[in-house]
C-alpha cells in the first residue's frame, strides 16, 4: 500500500552518506522504499519530520538536502523491529531504551547496550540476529575507542564467536578484524570522496592507514598512482596487505609498519602530492610530519580532527594554518572544510583539505 511520508531529497552521490546520517538519527522509515526521483536525485522516506536541530545538522553535512512530503511504496516484507522482537521478553518500560541503530561491519553488528539493559543484553543480541538475517555476530561495545591503535573492547552477546569479517564499501572488499585493527563503517563517503580527488601520476602518503580504506580505493581508481600506507599497528598493516591483494592493487599500495613520524623522516620526506591524516584525536601533533612528507613544490593535506562546540571550522583552519607555518610551510587554500559526522552531542569529526606550499 502506498503511504505518505516526509521525504528527504538528496543527490544520488550522497545517498549512502545520507542514509548513514538519517539512520543514526533514527529518522529513516525502513518500511518504505527509497525512490529515484528527478534525474540524479534520491527520495528517502522518513518516519517523522526532523527537529529543527536535526534539519540544521543534516543541511550542514549535506550540500543539497530538501524536505517535502511524498507518497512512497511500502517494502514487500517489513522486517520486525527490535522492539517487536523483544515484546514480552523485556519489561515494557525498557523497550524505549533499545538501541535505535547499530554499526554493521560485514556480518558483525556492533551495538551499544545502555546500563539499564545490561541484564538483557543476550536477549537484545538474539533479537538483532532475528531481525537482521544478514548478521551472524553481535558484539556489545565494552569501552571507548582508545590507545595508540584506536581500538575498543567488545563483548560477544549473540551469534558466532569471532571479530573478523569481510566488509564491502564502494566496490572494494576488506578483511576487517574489529578487535585487532581500527575500522569504522561510518566514513565510507570520505574514503570515496578522497579517492575521487586523486589524479593519475600522484604519490599519496596515508600516515594512519589502518586496514586500507583510503589506500585501496585510491589505488583501485587510478592505474598510475603510488600509495604509501603507514600504520603503527602491525595487525592493521597485515590486513592492509591482504586487502591490497584482494582488490588487486598490491603493485600500487606500499604498506609500511611504523610510527608515521619516523617512517616519513627516514623514507618519505618530500615525496607526496597528497597526504591523508585520519587520526582525529591526535592528528594535530603530526601536522609537521605531513608538511615534511609533502613535495617541496607543495601538495594537498586531508586533515581529520574533532571539533567540539563552541569551536568552529574557522578555528580549526587557524590552528591548522599556524601548525603548518610553524613547520616552515604555508596554507595556500582550503578547498574543503566540513563536518563529516557527529561523534557525540555537540562534537563533530571534521575534515580540512588544505593546499600546502
Measured from the CB atom, is 210 or 255 closer to ligand SAM?
A: 210
Are 43 and 70 a contacting pair, CB within 8 Å? yes
108-111 vs 103-105, strand pairing mode: antiparallel
The least CB distance from residue 306 to ligand SAM, in Å, is 11
Q: For residue 87, what are the CA distances in angstroms to 30, 80, 90, 123? A: 19, 11, 6, 11
Terminus-to-terminus CA distance in the chain, angstroms? 59
Could you give the CA distance from residue 41 to residue 184 in angstroms, rounded to a whole number?
27
Task: Return the DSSP state at 245.
Answer: H
The least CB distance from residue 310 to ligand SAM, in Å, is 25
Measured from the CB atom, is 79 or 259 closer to ligand SAM?
A: 259
Measured from the CB atom, is 45 or 255 closer to ligand SAM?
A: 255
Measured from the CB atom, is 177 or 202 closer to ligand SAM?
A: 177
Closest-by-Cβ residue to ligand SAM is 210
The least CB distance from residue 179 to ligand SAM, in Å, is 13
171 closest CA partner among 240, 246, 224, 223? 246
Could you give the CA distance from residue 75 to residue 56 in angstroms, rounded to a whole number?
29
The least CB distance from residue 346 to ligand SAM, in Å, is 21
The least CB distance from residue 284 to ligand SAM, in Å, is 13
Where do we find the cell 502506498? 2
222 closest CA partner among 245, 242, 203? 203
Are 126 and 120 a contacting pair, CB within 8 Å? no
The least CB distance from residue 250 to ligand SAM, in Å, is 18
Measured from the CB atom, is 150 or 274 closer to ligand SAM?
A: 150
135 closest CA partner among 79, 187, 69? 79
Dihedral of alpha carbons 272, 185, 15, 69, sign: negative
Strand partners, 305: 350
Side-chain half-sphere exposure of 231, counting CA atoms within 13 A: 31
Measured from the CB atom, is 181 or 300 closer to ligand SAM?
A: 181
Measured from the CB atom, is 37 or 145 closer to ligand SAM?
A: 145
The least CB distance from residue 186 to ligand SAM, in Å, is 10
Measured from the CB atom, is 9 or 226 closer to ligand SAM?
A: 226
327 closest CA partner among 269, 273, 276? 269
Q: What are phi and psi of 311, to 5 degrees?
A: -60, 150
349, containing H or E segment: strand 347-356
Q: Which residues bind ligand SAM (CB under 6 A)?
A: 148-150, 181-184, 187, 208-210, 213-214, 230-233, 236, 259-260, 278-279
164-169 vs 154-159, strand pairing mode: unpaired
Where do we find the cell 609533502? 294
Measured from the CB atom, is 85 or 178 closer to ligand SAM?
A: 178
Amino acid at each position: 500500500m502506498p503511504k505518505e511520508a516526509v521525504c528527504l531529497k538528496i543527490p544520488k552521490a550522497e545517498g549512502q552518506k545520507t542514509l548513514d546520517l538519517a539512520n543514526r538519527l533514527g529518522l529513516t522509515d525502513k518500511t518504505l522504499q527509497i525512490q529515484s526521483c528527478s534525474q540524479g536525485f534520491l527520495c528517502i522516506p522518513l518516519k517523522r519530520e526532523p527537529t529543527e536541530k536535526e534539519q540544521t545538522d543534516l543541511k550542514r553535512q549535506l550540500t543539497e538536502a530538501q524536505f517535502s512530503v511524498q507518497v512512497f511504496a511500502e517494502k514487500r516484507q517489513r522486517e520486525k523491529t527490535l522492539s517487536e522482537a523483544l515484546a514480552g521478553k523485556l519489561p515494557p518500560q525498557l523497550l524505549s531504551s533499545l538501541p535505535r541503530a547499530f554499526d554493521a561491519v560485514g556480518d558483525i553488528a556492533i551495538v551499544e547496550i545502555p546500563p539499564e539493559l545490561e541484564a538483557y543484553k543476550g536477549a537484545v543480541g538474539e533479537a538483532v540476529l532475528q531481525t537482521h538475517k544478514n548478521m551472524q555476530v553481535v558484539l556489545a561495545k565494552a569501552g571507548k575507542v582508545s590507545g595508540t591503535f584506536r581500538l575498543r573492547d567488545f563483548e560477544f552477546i549473540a551469534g558466532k564467536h569471532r571479530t573478523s569479517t569481510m566488509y564491502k564499501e564502494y566496490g572494494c572488499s576488506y578483511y576487517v578484524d574489529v578487535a585487532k585493527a581500527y575500522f569504522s563503517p561510518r566514513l565510507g563517503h570520505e574514503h570515496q570522496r578522497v579517492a575521487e580527488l586523486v589524479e593519475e601520476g600522484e604519490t599519496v602518503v596515508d600516515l594512519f592507514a589502518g586496514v586500507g580504506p583510503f589506500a585501496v580505493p585510491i589505488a583501485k581508481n587510478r592505474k598510475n598512482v603510488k600509495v604509501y600506507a603507514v600504520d603503527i599497528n602491525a595487525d592493521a598493516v597485515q590486513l592492509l596487505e591482504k586487502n591490497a591483494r584482494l582488490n588487486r592493487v598490491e603493485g600500487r599500495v606500499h604498506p609500511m609498519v611504523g610510527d608515521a613520524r619516523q617512517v616519513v623522516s627516514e623514507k618519505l620526506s618530500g615525496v607526496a602530492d597528497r597526504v591523508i591524516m585520519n587520526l582525529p584525536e591526535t592528528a594535530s601533533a603530526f601536522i609537521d610530519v605531513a608538511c615534511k612528507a609533502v613535495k617541496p613544490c607543495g601538495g594537498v593535506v586531508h586533515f581529520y580532527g574533532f571539533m567540539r562546540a563552541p569551536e568552529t571550522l574557522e578555528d580549526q583552519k587557524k590552528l591548522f594554518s599556524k601548525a603548518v607555518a610553524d613547520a616552515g610551510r604555508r596554507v595556500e587554500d582550503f578547498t574543503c572544510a566540513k563536518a563529516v559526522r557527529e561523534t557525540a552531542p555537540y562534537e563533530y569529526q571534521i575534515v580540512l583539505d588544505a593546499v600546502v606550499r
